[in-house]
Every structure is written in C-alpha cells, then in structure tokens.
C-alpha cells in the first residue's frame, strides 16, 4: 500500500486516549470519545490513524481498534495498530506500526495480507536508513523533531537538519513527529518530510464548538502548511 500520495502532505493522528479526551467518564466513555475524535479526524481528511494505547490488553485494544475502523469507513483514513500485529489482523485494521525495537518489517510482510501498511518509528537518520534498507516498510515516523510536551524535558531532540538527513537517506516516506504545530509542519515540509504525525495537536476542547469543525480547522492548517512550501519550491 503506497503512502506516496500526490499533491498533499500526509497527516497521521497518533492516539493517546488519556490526553485526547476529557477525564471523568470512565474507561468505556473515554474509549467512546476517542472513537468519536478518530471519526471526526477521518472525515476532516487525516490519512493515517495510529492507535497507540500500550496499557490496554488485547481484548480492550481490539474493541477500541474495531471502533476506530468502523469510524473511518468511507474516508481515506487508514487505521494502523501500534506494535500488535495480531490485533491489527483480527480487527480488519489497515496495518501495523512497529516500534524501533520491533520485529523486522520484511518478516511481518510475510504473514500480512496484500496491501497491509507497515510503518516504524525511528529516532535517527542512520537508524531510518538501515531499517528502510532491510525492506518491507511503507513509511517511517521520525522524531522527536521539536521539543514535545509528551516527552521529558531532557529527551533528545533531533531537529530539522537530522530530519533532512533522514528523508535523504531513507528513500521511503518520512513523517515528522514531536512538538508539531502548523508552523512547524511547514518547517518539516521544507525539510522534505512526506507529512507529520501528532497527538496533542488533535486535542480538542468540548466547549470550543463542534468536533468536526475543530478538526477540520486543524487538518486544514496542516494541509496549507505543506501547500505553502510547495508553492515556494
């Protein structure tokens, strides 16, 4: 499944139900709210939804992923499951997103159905180049590019020069993650990134208007960030 879509920056929503939803409703309500956000993001034009909920056991994760798959039906969005190949296969998700220390992508490819999307997180240009060279990957998520509120203040920041190098060496689509804003998305686009991935950027306020309207605004700003760079170049 090719992620090299023409004429647009790729946008990936990475889930974290604790950060993306309002506290106080219990696990079931939190999961339902996350599925609503995923559906609204898909309708707004997000390309990939990476379900990343490492604390959930297989059953709870499967229920959440199945809900996200249903919520994205009829849109361009494709749901991938972080790390859990078994859950991705049994829920009808479009693919899996492997951790940096996960199994080789070409081995996963051997058991995956045709068109299965396989991505991986990397943290340096050299790592990205090495893993891309092994084959089996459709894309990389590279970061942390900018300081991020989800990381410890001492967490290493790769920066734009390392992102540029990762894009040059990997030869497959590279999405930038970490501290992303629409303005920083333009910087990532200028560095050659195929798109961006984010968590906090998709956190919406219940009191700030309709969910679809808010996420349309977020996705629109990211699209315009990539379009502005294309116009200049």
Burial of residue 111, with CB atoms counted within 10 A of its CB: 0-12 exposed, 13-18 middle, 19 or more buried: exposed
Lowest average pLDDT, out of 22-26, 134-138, 149-153, goes to 149-153
pLDDT at 230: 63
Q: Is residue 221 part of a domain?
A: yes
* Mean pLDDT in residue range 20-28: 75
pLDDT digits (tens, 9 = 90+) for 100-139: 888 999 999 999 999 999 999 999 999 999 999 999 999 9
> What percent of the chain shows pLDDT beyond 90?
79
pLDDT at 232: 43
- CATH value at residue 62: 3.20.20.70
Query: CA angle 178-105-149, nearest 5°?
Result: 15
Q: Is residue 133 part of a domain?
A: yes
Q: How many domains does the chain have?
A: 1
Q: Is residue 1 part of a domain?
A: no
Q: Is residue 106 part of a domain?
A: yes
* Mean pLDDT in residue range 151-175: 88
Cβ distance 9 to 170 under 8 Å? Answer: no
Range of the domain at 118: 11-232
Q: Is residue 180 part of a domain?
A: yes
Q: Is residue 3 part of a domain?
A: no
pLDDT at 233: 40
Residue 6 has pLDDT above 60, yes or no: no
Beta-ladder partners of 120:
98, 140
Which residue has better confidence, 34 or 100?
A: 34
Q: Is residue 25 part of a domain?
A: yes
| CA pair distance 40, 47, nearest whole angstrom | 12
pTM (two decimals): 0.92
Cβ distance 173 to 195 under 8 Å? Answer: yes
């Amino acid at each position: 499944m090719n992620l090299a879509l023409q004429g647009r920056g790729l946008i990936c929503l990475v889930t974290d139900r604790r950060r993306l939803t309002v506290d106080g409703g219990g696990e079931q309500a939190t999961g339902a709210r996350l599925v609503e956000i995923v559906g609204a993001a898909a309708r707004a034009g997000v390309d990939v939804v990476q379900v990343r909920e490492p604390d959930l056991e297989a059953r709870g994760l499967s229920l959440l992923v199945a809900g996200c798959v249903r919520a994205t039906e009829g849109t361009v969005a494709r749901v991938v499951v972080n790390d859990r190949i078994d859950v991705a296969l049994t829920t009808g998700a479009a693919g899996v997103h492997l951790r940096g220390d996960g199994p080789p992508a070409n081995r996963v490819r051997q058991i995956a159905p045709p068109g299965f999307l396989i991505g991986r997180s990397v943290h340096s240009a050299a790592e990205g180049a090495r893993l891309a060279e092994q084959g089996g990957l459709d894309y990389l998520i590279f970061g942390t590019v900018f300081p991020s509120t989800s990381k410890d203040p001492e967490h290493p920041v790769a920066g734009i020069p390392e992102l540029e190098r990762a894009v040059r060496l990997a030869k497959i689509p590279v999405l930038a993650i970490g501290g992303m804003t629409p303005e920083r998305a333009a910087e990532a686009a200028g560095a050659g990134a195929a798109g961006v991935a984010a968590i906090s950027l998709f956190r919406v306020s219940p009191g700030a208007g309709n969910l679809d309207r808010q996420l349309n605004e977020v996705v629109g700003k990211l699209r315009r960030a990539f379009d502005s760079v294309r116009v200049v170049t």
